[in-house]
Structures are given as structure tokens and as C-alpha cells.
Structure 1
Amino acid sequence: MSNLPDPASQRPTILIVDDMPANLTLLTNLLKGQYRIKVASSAARALELAATAPPDLVLLDIMMPEMDGYEVCRRLKADERTQRVPVIFLTAKISVEDEELGLSLGAVDFIHKPISPPIVLARVKSQIEIKAWQDFLLDQNGWLTKEVDQRLSEINQLQNASIYVMVSLAEFRDEDTGNHIVRTQEYVRLLAQELATLPRHASMLTGSCIEQLVRSAPLHDIGKIAIPDHILLKPGKLTVDEFAIMKTHALRGYDILMRAGNFMGTHGAVLAFAKDIARHHHEKWDGTGYPDGLAGEAIPLAARLMAVADVYDALRSTRPYKNSMSHEQAADFIIQGRGRYFDPDVVDAFTRLAARFAEMAEYWPDE
């Protein structure tokens, strides 16, 4: 027994819809040599057959009882399963208005009764070929979409790996940064999602934008890899001169990320957010921060979010030169800094989320 597919099963399928048996027989005999034929003598049966197994073409009579061909066409085009199936009307109506109505409903052509076999064969062949090309292009578009998605996934994985490597470098230099990075990343996510509920921020803080912002947050202190060990790892309080050097980590981080972007030949959204955060997360709302002394909304929103997340976490953390604050003390400091150190909108969001911040600080404690 041969396992080869039946050639007839590979033929395009045509659904013929007409309430007159003689017309169904005539069209079936005309087309069955080249196509697989299905017939329906009522509108309801036609819609059932089309929905069950969408054909490649519908030859549709207009004048039928209970439901005319126009309504059948409307329903076919409204159904996602059949909306791409071409419809050719079979009709004795020859007015321009009738054809305009049919075409407006999505039909591709009209064949007037009494039918001419050569015209039927030619027009059916033409629409079947068009449908085949459309299906081919749709398949190609689907394949290309999958290929693009795969390439983007690979790029994202490479970008994530690059971010991980850079963050790991900072962690190796400063053992106190491990869970600080995780906590501040999640604090930023919470704040951004809360701000997104406000009309003035909703257009910028879309779901994809927030994810990109969160991915960039761990790079906020990447510039510390350029700070000398005797300053970065000093167990006591820094001198004025040492602190001046420590503050350069903001610009150093920005420069590192700028060079990384130039080397990769791209400055995508993640890198753009990372540069904003690295350079400006120590700016203050009143303009007294560093390195550029920006004030108010001149400070990038990503950096304003990180400023609150970073300060809260620093206050909650124990360091060789300081004790940690309680959640209540740290939260009070943030609230007292509203409109002075921090963006009022971000502080208000923090106030609404304060309990969640406390939970996260407990969930990811310093080791």
C-alpha cells in the first residue's frame, strides 16, 4: 500500500452555496476536475461547513431564503476563521448598487447568472492563485516573525549576560553590594509600577518600559569599579577628599556605559536608562546633588526612582562605618526629603508602598 498522499486531497477546496440543486450540480461538474468541492443548499449549512474546515474559496448565491448571500458574507468576514477566505457572488442581479454592496462586504468578484463556464473557471482560478500567494506570504511573515523573535531573544540574553558581568565586577570589588542590587532593583520596579497608575506618567511607564528600566537598575553603581580600593573598601568614614573621589563614580559609570554602547554600536532603551541612572541617581530635587546639579524634572525619571530606592536601602543597611536604621526611621527620612531631595511623586508612591519595601528588606537581608 502506498504512503503517498492522495493528489486529490492536495487540491484547493471550493465551497459552493446555492439553494437550487441544479446550480449546485452544474458548478460541481464544472469544477470537480481541478478542485475539491463542498456544497451547501442553505446559508446555515454553508456557515457550519466554512467554520469547521475553512475552504480556499466560496462561490455564494445571493438570493436565498431565510438568509441571503450578503448576510452570509458578513458573517464569514466577521469570523476570524474565515475572514481571509475569498468570496465570489453568484447572482442574477446586475445593478451597480448590488455590486457595490457586495464588494463593500468583502467579496472579491461577481459572476452573473446564467453562468458562462469559461468565465467561472477563469475567475475561480485567478482568486485561488491570489489566495495561494497570500497564504505563502503569511507563512513567510510568520517564519520571519519567529526568526526576529529568536534573534531578539538572543540579543536580550547577551545583553543580560553583559549586564551580569558588569554588575559582578562591582560586586567583587564591594562585598556589601550583593543583595543591595537585588533589593534596589525590586524597589525601582514597585515605584515605577505605582507611578504608572498616574495619568502624567502612564504614557512613559508602559509595561515594556518598566521592564527595561528594571533591567538597567543594577548598573547604577557600576562606576565604583573605577574607585581605588583604599577608598571604596575603607571601613571608616571618608575624608572630604576621599568623598570627592567617591562621588566621581557617577560620571565614571556613565562613561563606562557610554563606551559599552559605542563598542556595541547601539544605545538601546536598557543602556539609555542605565546611563541616566548611573549618572544622575545622586542628583537632588532641589538641585544640590551631583554630578551636574540638576533640579526637578530635569533629572531623568529613571534616576529619580533610583534615588529613593538607593537611599532607602542604604539607610536600612549596616556598614562598617554606620549602623542600620529601622524601616520607620528610613521611611521618615524619605518622606522628610519630599520636594527637597526627592521627586514628590516618587515619595508619594513610596509612602503608599512603604509596607512592601519593609517586606522586601526582610526577604533579601544582607548576608
Structure 2
Amino acid sequence: MNKFKILIVDDEANNLQILLQILKEDYQLGFAKNGTDALRCIQEQQPDLVLLDIMMPGMDGYEVCRRLKADPSTAQIPVIFVTALDEVEDEQQGFDLGAVDYINKPVRTAVVRARVHTHLSLYNQQRACEETVRQRTAELEQTRLEVIQHLGRAAEYKDNETGLHVIRMSYYSELIARALNWSEEDCKLLLNAAPMHDIGKIGIPDAILRKPGKLDDTEWTIMKQHPEIGANILKGDTPLQHMARDIALYHHEKWDGSGYPQGLAGTQITLAARIVAVADVFDALTTVRPYKAAWPVEKAVEFMQKQAGQHFDPDLVRLFLNALPAILEIKEKWKEALLAQ
């Protein structure tokens, strides 16, 4: 079993030697003689606990603790002050900065061992709980995504499209968002929202959705209602519902203003919907439909390039095509042959 790592920080060699003798049998120890070295060692070694002197030349222990707690990568590491300062105000200042305990010098072996053992045990339990929460959260997020994908696939099955379309285009959309340097949270939000882009087709009569030929004017007018139907279905107050609603409502708008249902143009169309429009059309072009063969990727790329600045946001087309190798990996992973499995 790996030993816990402890960083001992003190400008006096004798104090370092005393703590070394007390702790060396049970822990992996590191040492620093000033605040600057302590911060460097903490970043490099990521110790499980820091024993920190206060009265040091230059940067004192209080400032080391303040900086440690201000950095998200080190904020959770427990700090125990080991100091000759014994006033109540000194202890209070240390606790206010985030220290978990206070050991007075001269140190006593039993006290050091007991305090170190207690706080390492608590820290280890905290990390175990956090890992459990992370795992459960990841499981919930995966379950939510799968439910959303199934919902999106249900809408696609009602149409002449395939259920895997919503999976591919949602991952394409996520890739574009990452190329835009969206946060991890927002990328996942888009991944979850994109599959619901055509959910409004649930409200369109089957005779129109499944018509093999061209729609007449009346039928087309009805078909163009599906974005607003989808937006009504997806009304809600959560970030996911807001993004999904915008995508459903606006993904058929076009950069030049010739789309529907509102005839918006350019940046009047929400960015998430502009992203989904690129991903949606590319996948539709390169996939077999009952009424058409799949386009070769090269032909689809040429079409996307020609439509940049007309149908599509030109910057998003550029980012999409830059990510084409990753796009094609997703396309292969979720190819139509999997539908029968």
C-alpha cells in the first residue's frame, strides 16, 4: 500500500529533523525551508497533507496557506500549522485561512502522530466520497444522455430518417463546440440538447412525414411547423431545456435569412442552433435515406463549403471541416450497420 505523502515546511533544520524522526516510519516525507519552495513542492508533489510553520523569512506560513487555498488544484489539501505562536488570535487567523489544525512547538510525538493520522483519515474519506459522487454523477449524466437519445430516435423513427442520425449529429455538434473553446459543461449541455432538435416532428402527420415524393405547398406549410412544436414541447427553466428549445426552434434558420420559421439571419440565430444546423445537414447528406443515396464525403464537403455564408455560419463550417478526421471517426463508430444489432 502506498504511503501518504506529507510536506513539512520549516526554515529551521532542527525542526525538520524532529518531525522527520516522528513521521518517517509511516509516511512519505518531503521538505521545504521557505514559502516559495513550499508552493513549488506542493504543485509538483501534490502531498496529502502539509505541516506548515508560520514564522518564516520572506513569505510566512499564513501567506502560503492563503495561496494554497486560493488555487483550486491545491485547495483541498489539509494544512496543519506547526508553530511557536500560541495566542488565540494566531490560531483563529490560521483557521480563518483554511487550516484544519494547530500544533504548538515544541511538538510532542504523540500529538503529532495523532493529529496527522486523524486528518489524513478524514482527507482520505473525503476523497473517497468525492470519487463516489463523481462516479454516480457520471452514471446519471450517461443515463440522461441515453434517455434523450432514445427520445430523439423516437422522433426520427416517425420520419424517414434513422435513429442513429441523432447520435452522430449530437457528437458532431459537440466537436464544433470544443473547437470554439466552450467550457466542458456547455459542451456536454449541447451534446444532450442536440438529439432533440427534431422532436417537433412528433406533431406532424405521418402522411406528410413519410410521403416519398415532394411536398405540396400545403404540406410544406404544415411541415415547417415542427420547429415551433418542438419548442413548445421543450419549454422549461433548466439550462438543458433552454438550449434544447432554442435548437429545436432555430436549427432550420439560415445564415442569409432564408430559413424558417422566423427568417432570422446571422447572429440573430443562437449559436447552438447554428452549430446543430451544420452537424445535422452534413449527416443527412452522407447517410442513406429511402428517397436518396448517401453522398460521398467529398461531395458533402463541397456542398458545405458552397453553402458557407448562405445556409451556414461560415466560421462554423471552417471549424467543422478542420475537425473532419474526428467527424469521420464518429461517423464510422455509429454507422448505419449498427442499427440492426
Q: TM-score, normalised by structure 2?
A: 0.66
Q: 1:87-166 residue pairs with structure 2 within 5 A? A: 87=53, 107-110=81-84, 138=123, 141-142=126-127, 145-146=130-131, 148-166=133-151
Which of 16, 21, 26 does residue 53 from structure 1 map onto?
A: 26
2-side partners of 1:124 and 1:361: how far apart? 63
Q: Please say if residues 34 and 57 of structure 2, whose CA atoms lie closer than 8 Å, have aligned partners that are also in contact.
A: no
2-side partners of 1:130 and 1:225: how far apart? 63
Tell me if 1:332 matches 2:306.
no
2:191 aligns with 214
2-side partners of 1:72 and 1:48: how far apart? 20
Q: Please say if residues 223 and 250 of structure 1, whose CA atoms lie closer than 8 Å, have aligned partners that are also in contact.
A: yes
Q: Please say if residues 86 and 127 of structure 1, whose CA atoms lie closer than 8 Å, have aligned partners that are also in contact.
A: no
Q: Please say if residues 168 and 334 of structure 2, whose CA atoms lie closer than 8 Å, have aligned partners that are also in contact.
A: yes
3-state SS, counterpart of residue 177 of structure 1: coil
Which of 227, 232, 236 does residue 255 from structure 1 map onto?
A: 232
1-side partners of 2:139 and 2:325: how far apart? 37
1:189 aligns with 174
Query: Cα distance 1:150–1:124, how it changes in 2: closer, same or farther (>3 A)?
Result: same
Q: Please say if residues 308 and 314 of structure 2, whose CA atoms lie closer than 8 Å, have aligned partners that are also in contact.
A: yes
How big is the shift at 1:286? 1.6
Query: Residue type matched to 2:238 in 1?
Result: H
Query: Cα distance 1:44–1:76, how it changes in 2: closer, same or farther (>3 A)?
Result: farther
Query: Residue type matched to 1:71 in 2?
Result: K
Q: Please, which runs of 5 or more residues in structure 2 have no aligned partner?
A: 1-7, 66-80, 87-103
Query: Cα distance 1:73–1:280, how it changes in 2: closer, same or farther (>3 A)?
Result: closer
173-182 or 339-348, larger mean C-alpha shift: 173-182
How big is the shift at 1:299? 1.4
Q: Please say if residues 223 and 254 of structure 1, whose CA atoms lie closer than 8 Å, have aligned partners that are also in contact.
A: yes
Q: TM-score, normalised by structure 1?
A: 0.62
Q: 1:217-232 residue pairs with structure 2 within 5 A? A: 217-232=194-209
Q: Please say if residues 87 and 109 of structure 1, whose CA atoms lie closer than 8 Å, have aligned partners that are also in contact.
A: yes
Query: Residue type matched to 1:267 in 2?
Result: T
Tell me if 1:71 matches 2:33.
yes
How big is the shift at 1:125? 9.2
Query: Cα distance 1:230–1:105, how it changes in 2: closer, same or farther (>3 A)?
Result: closer
2-side partners of 1:355 and 1:129: how far apart? 56
2-side partners of 1:363 and 1:142: how far apart? 35
Q: Please say if residues 176 and 366 of structure 1, whose CA atoms lie closer than 8 Å, have aligned partners that are also in contact.
A: no
How big is the shift at 1:354? 4.6
Q: Please say if residues 312 and 330 of structure 1, whose CA atoms lie closer than 8 Å, have aligned partners that are also in contact.
A: yes
- Deviation per CA, 1:237-286: give whole Å up to 9, x if none: 1111111111211122222222xxx4xxx613x44332222221111112
Query: Cα distance 1:211–1:100, how it changes in 2: closer, same or farther (>3 A)?
Result: closer
How big is the shift at 1:230? 0.6
> How many corresponding residue pairs?
291
What CA RMSD, in Å, does the superposition of the two structures yield over aligned residues?
A: 4.4
1:308 aligns with 278
Query: Residue type matched to 2:83 in 1?
Result: D
3-state SS, counterpart of residue 84 of structure 1: strand
1-side partners of 2:203 and 2:330: how far apart? 30
